[in-house]
Copies of this chain bind each other. A is one copy, B any other.
Amino acid sequence: MPMTLKRTVFFVSDGTGLTVEALGHSLLTQFEDVEFKQIRIPFLDNIEKAQEAVARINHQGETDGMRPIVFTTLVNPELAEIVHQADAFCLSYFETFLAPLEGELGRKSNHTVGRSHGSAESSEYKNRIESINYTLAHDDGITDRDLEEADVILVAVSRCGKTPTSLYLAMQFGLKAANFPLIPEDFDRGRLPGTLEKHRSKLFGLTIQPERLAQIREERRAGSRYASLANCRFEVAEAEKMMRREGIRWLDSSTKSIEEISTTILQELKLR
């Protein structure tokens, strides 16, 4: 068995660094027996900050007794050159991919600092913020007003992940996501809540393994009938029966992250 290796990794960007961090992280997860200390250096947009970053990286290398790994996305070639002088193993996202892409497109790139999250003044950004507000105002069946504006309406029994998923859809994709709980009254009546019927094409259901649901509910209301396994089994079975009868697409959220659930919803409802 090899000893656990420890390495320090820097993510250096002229923007927030969130993209290069996500990217680097997905590579690092491929090395399970290495322990990575990860440091993000955002907003590196002048020579002074570039020199500070080099000093910090070199100092870390001396402390570690091993050169750090540095992932960069720096659009400005002058700043990139300074950072790449650090005594480190540098993987440069822009230098690696921009030249081949320029070749393929037959165009020179702008070399302007990217705002991959969109400028705060862009209509796309404003739409995201508006969608977050809409989603908050339409959480958990608070209101059935303005449902015609919704891009998607999630339905599920309580504690399946409707709220975090709705917020993610709004925040990441700028979608207006309402959500409604399926409650025992709906099962007694054997029908969807009336206000939802006319929006059937926007409905998407979440379900969950009853054991997992009981565990989640138990953390909130220990010992309650609401959290009991018998009741969770009943509610999940009734909800699935209703969704099947009404022709609502759904997925099991038990082991899925909100990113995975949201991506699946986009695919299934052919949104975007």
Contact = CB atoms under 8 A, between A and B. Distances in A.
Interface of A: 2, 5, 7, 15-20, 22-23, 25-27, 29-34, 40, 42-43, 69, 73, 75, 89, 91, 93-94, 96-98, 100-101, 104-107, 109-112, 114-121, 125, 129, 132-133, 136, 139, 161, 163-164, 167-168, 171-172, 254-260, 262-264, 267
Contact of A110 (B7, B25, B32, B120): B32
A231 to B, nearest CB: 21
B263 A98 contact: no
A27 B94 contact: yes
Given A19-B19, A42-B263, A27 B97 contact: yes
Contacts of A22: 18-19, 22-23, 116
Contact of A257 (B7, B33, B125, B168): B125
B171 A43 contact: no
Contacts of A107: 2, 5, 31, 33-34
A259 B18 contact: yes
Nearest to A41: B267
A167 B171 contact: yes
Chain multiplicity (copies) = 2
Contacts of A5: 105-107
B114 A30 contact: yes
A137 B33 CA distance: 39
Residue of A29, A163, A259, A263 with highest tally of chain B CB at under 10 A: A259
B112 A25 contact: no
Contacts of A118: 257
B116 A29 contact: yes
B171 A116 contact: no
A13 to B, nearest CB: 9
Contacts of A20: 23
B260 A16 contact: yes
A172 B18 contact: yes
A105 B34 contact: yes
A23 B19 contact: yes
B98 A30 contact: yes
Nearest to A263: B16
Contacts of A105: 5, 7, 31, 34
A221 to B, nearest CB: 14
A190 B61 CA distance: 49
Contacts of A121: 255
B116 A25 contact: yes
Given A110-B31, A132-B163, A260 B89 contact: no
Contact of A111 (B30, B73, B164, B263): B30
